[in-house]
Structure 1
Amino acid sequence: MDLCLSSAQQPRRLGQAPRSPGGWVEAEEEATVPEDGTGGPPGDSTKTESSLHSLLKFVPTDYTSYTQEHYWFAGKRIVIQESIESFGAVVWPGATVLCQYLEEHREELNLQDAKVLEMGAGAGLVSIVASILGAQVTATDLPDVLGNLQYNLLKNTLKCTAHLPEVKELAWGEDLEENFPRSTFYYSYVLASDVVYHHYFLDKLLATMEYLSKPGTVVLWANKFRFSTDYEFLDKFKQVFDTTLLAEYPESSVKLFKGTLKWD
């Protein structure tokens, strides 16, 4: 793999090449961790192997066609396997905005060893960038997305990051206490990009954002505003979270918000 190479000058998004969906076997073979743990991320080799095995849970959906999209963030070339056959297998505009913000504000955010959960991680670009910047990432989405998400995370973070990201299923508003018990889970950051569009689960999305937030948790939500329902969600978001507009990109209609849970 050549994904962890640096270069003096690279555009944020580089070219495109066709790809077959059979690449998962190749990635799994290349991802083998030596028995002594050498060559892997810093830390205990047993922990590294355990993290790797926890990542290898899902098989990518067998779409008829994939492409490889190339991005450049945090000093790394990142290759994302995408397919237009699924909303969850494409990198959307809000994701690149959020990645840019994480990169440009790395010192302020202090992601090193921070526990981060991404909602609707999709193809995984945001989770990959957060991992490269040192965070302990849990990337979540629906079951049909997790195989491709896992593939992209593994291909871009193995032997490149201090913490291998974790992949977990998260259906908004469902089985939250069972899968993410409040007594156990705490996240410094909850990340979300382009999770708001014309669907019927916006109330569950907001309830899940609220559930995952504790005192000190920062929600970073980037979204391309397309429909009136997006602005209606923003109004509800502001009722639950103290909200700051961090950045706005009129050319792409993307806005980036910071939210901290309101407390009585």
Structure 2
Amino acid sequence: MDVCLSSAGGWLEAENEGDLQKDSARGPPGDANKIEPSLHSLQKLVPTDYGSYTQERYRFAGKDIVIQESIESYGAVVWPGATALCQYLEEHTEELNLQDAKILEIGAGPGLVSIVATLLGAQVTATDLPDVLGNLQYNLLKNTLKCTAHLPEVKELVWGEDLEQNFPKSALYYDYVLASDVVYHHYSLDKLLTTMAYLSQPGTVLLWANKFRFSTDYEFLDKFKQVFDATLLAEYPESSVKLFKGILKWD
């Protein structure tokens, strides 16, 4: 059994912070400066205080992945779209050229997709709302520290708000933007579409997996197709998940 977890003891599950920083800098030549700041960004977050957790296990990228979940928050549960997207990434790693690819995940939740993308060699920025980030960073560290070329970064992202300030186009570029089960019956769908479009630049591929539950999901898909050249990449009938590839339309 190949388990990729950090060593036990303390919130960061390591012997001490100094050892964490020292070990995080060990990677391919030239990566130390990328990895250590990511570790610092993960350390500064406060753990989410949920009353009850479960430990769920998943198997992707040749690793056993342990995810701390809680039914107290939509953002602390792995949804069907996430596992479908992980399966696709695993099966198409070489085709997608994920090694060292720059990836941002929208609505990372408990972090499974970001963990799998990191294990497959990508440089990942996992984003979500502030109350989700503590549990997200915990899962990312447990499953990527000391066993990946790049440590994932965690950033707050409120859809449609302060995008240029927090994600300046002049400084950031992503090969892929990932999203899974971010579309359901809520009132921020227009802001979500705005955010998807903002983060996409020439050459960026958006991969969106979603379980289609409500009429609003299909209404969003119609709007998505107005903004993106959309291709249905895969369907998972057992979970009602569809996976789309989106390339932003340019005037």
Same fold (TM over 0.5): yes
* 2:205 equivalent in structure 1: 218
CA distance in 1, matches of 2:124, 2:41: 13
* 2:14 equivalent in structure 1: 29
Q: Give the aligned length.
A: 246
* 1:3 equivalent in structure 2: 3
Moved more, 58-67 or 137-146: 58-67
Moved more, 194-203 or 57-66: 57-66
* 1:16 equivalent in structure 2: none
Q: Is the 8 A contact 1:197 1:229 kept in 2?
A: yes
Match of 1:27, SS state, is: coil
1:31 Cα offset (Å) = 6.9
Q: Of residues 180, 195, 201 in structure 1, which corresponds to 2:182? A: 195
1:27 Cα offset (Å) = 3.0
1:33 Cα offset (Å) = 5.3
Judged with a 3 Å threshold, the aligned counterparts in structure 2 of structure 1 residues 30 and 191 are, in CA distance, closer, same or farther, namely farther
Q: Of residues 16, 39, 58 in structure 2, which corresponds to 1:52? A: 39
CA distance in 1, matches of 2:189, 2:147: 35
Corresponding position: 1:163 with 2:150: yes
1:50 Cα offset (Å) = 3.0
Q: Of residues 13, 18, 28 in structure 2, which corresponds to 1:42? A: 28
Match of 1:138, SS state, is: strand
Q: Of residues 38, 47, 50 in structure 2, which corresponds to 1:63? A: 50
CA distance in 1, matches of 2:126, 2:248: 21
Gaps of 5+ in 1: 6-22
Q: Is the 8 A contact 1:36 1:45 kept in 2?
A: no
Task: Give the letter for the 2:39 counterpart.
Answer: L
CA distance in 2, matches of 1:155, 1:235: 38
* 2:195 equivalent in structure 1: 208
CA distance in 2, matches of 1:248, 1:197: 18
Q: Is the 8 A contact 2:25 2:32 kept in 1?
A: no
1:249 Cα offset (Å) = 1.3
Task: Give the letter for the 1:188 counterpart.
Answer: D
Match of 1:112, SS state, is: coil
| TM score, norm. by length of structure 2 | 0.92
Aligned-residue CA RMSD (Å): 2.0
Q: Is the 8 A contact 2:232 2:243 kept in 1?
A: yes
Match of 1:182, SS state, is: coil
Match of 1:25, SS state, is: coil
Corresponding position: 1:239 with 2:226: yes
Match of 1:29, SS state, is: coil
1:28 Cα offset (Å) = 4.2
Judged with a 3 Å threshold, the aligned counterparts in structure 2 of structure 1 residues 50 and 39 are, in CA distance, closer, same or farther, namely closer
Q: Of residues 235, 240, 251 in structure 2, which corresponds to 1:248? A: 235
CA-to-aligned-CA distance 1:152-177 (integer Å, 9 cap, x gap): 00110001110100000000000000
CA distance in 2, matches of 1:231, 1:46: 43
Gaps of 5+ in 2: none
Match of 1:95, SS state, is: helix
1:46 Cα offset (Å) = 5.6
CA distance in 2, matches of 1:75, 1:258: 25
* 1:120 equivalent in structure 2: 107
CA-to-aligned-CA distance 1:76-107 (integer Å, 9 cap, x gap): 11000000000000000000000000000001
Match of 1:255, SS state, is: strand
Match of 2:14, SS state, is: helix
* 2:138 equivalent in structure 1: 151
Task: Give the letter for the 1:81 counterpart.
Answer: Q
CA distance in 2, matches of 1:59, 1:169: 13
Judged with a 3 Å threshold, the aligned counterparts in structure 2 of structure 1 residues 138 and 40 are, in CA distance, closer, same or farther, namely same
CA distance in 2, matches of 1:36, 1:56: 14
Q: Is the 8 A contact 2:24 2:39 kept in 1?
A: no
